[in-house]
Amino acid sequence: MKPFCLSCNSETSFFFEKFVPEINSKMQLFKCTKCSLVFVFPFPDHKQIQSFYDSNYYEKPGFLVFFLQKFRVRKLSFLPKGKLLDVGCGNCSFVNVMAKKGWQSFGLDFSSESEKYFNKMVKPELDSNVKKVLFKPLKQANFEDDFFDLITYWHVLEHLTDPVLELKEVKRILKPKGKLLIAVPNIESFSFKLFGKNWFHLDLPRHLIHFSPESLTKLLGSQGFKVEKINYYSFEHNPFGVFQSLYNFLGFKWNFFHNILRKRISPFSSLENIVNFVFTLLLLPIIIPFSFILAYLFSFLKKPDTFELVARKV
């Protein structure tokens, strides 16, 4: 049975299928014939979704994280300081950086593991301008109407199961003419067309909804937002997306380099890992510049791995 679109309730057609070892089964994606939204069907149940975000998913912010946060902060430097909510705040690094810049910062995340991590590793180091960090769905946070000047979703919306309900709540708590920033992978990217099941940003089973600039713009318009700007280049995500997709495509262990960086695996824990690590290093002088070139080219052609969008409540 084909599902109806999550955004506009129109008919859908089969789009893509992939076997996901993490859940030992295939996941199917469907695409709306009207607004082009792509999503997994059927969704995993709530308990399964929670299991995708174990303790290894979160990490203490290091130098690289703080370096990349500067790019995020710079993109928002044109806005006057006010109240910020970062949804899917994870390790709270962005919330903390913005607090230090003078924003009254709030964070929200959904995973029980993120709450454990926060209490143990993050809470003692928060800036005094961080007003509150909650661990529950946005609808249950009970923020006041017209409360925030800026709400951000840095690679979070693709993890949720009901974007319409989420955006209705965002509109309620955002001030008139308040700003909404959303960064997501781009299912219409050249990387997805080239690499298919090997595309890094596909990230099944965690990424449940797959947007394009077109489908996200339509969704936002239907919920009372006007898109003001779309940024097609992300130094934080696009070159690495191409980089890891290339290694996946060449047959290396799935997301091997990414998992090493996130300290999820050791390159020396097995002979297979050692072999993968040696050949990964040997190819770095070729893969790194090639990845940056492709990322810039795809962004120039407006078909990047990820995109960032700023919208205004109307």
Sign of CA dihedral 18, 196, 210, 135: positive
Per-residue pLDDT, averaged over 246-258, amounts to 96
Residue position matching structure tokens 């781009």? 186
Say how far apart CA 153 and CA 66 lie, in whole Å: 18
Helix 163-173 × helix 213-222 angle, to 10°: 60
Per-residue pLDDT, averaged over 16-35, amounts to 95
Measure Cα distances from 34 to 31, 78, 196 in Å.
9, 35, 23
Per-residue pLDDT, averaged over 160-177, amounts to 97
Domain boundaries, the chain: 55-237+306-313, 239-297
Per-residue pLDDT, averaged over 98-109, amounts to 93
Residue 95 near residue 76, CB atoms below 8 Å: no
Q: For the domain 55-237+306-313, what is the CATH code?
A: 3.40.50.150
Q: What is the pTM of this model?
A: 0.93
The overall average pLDDT reported for the chain is 92
User: Which residues have a Cβ under 8 Å from the Cβ of 90 and sit 6 or more positions away?
Assistant: 58, 109, 114
pLDDT of the residue at 252? 97
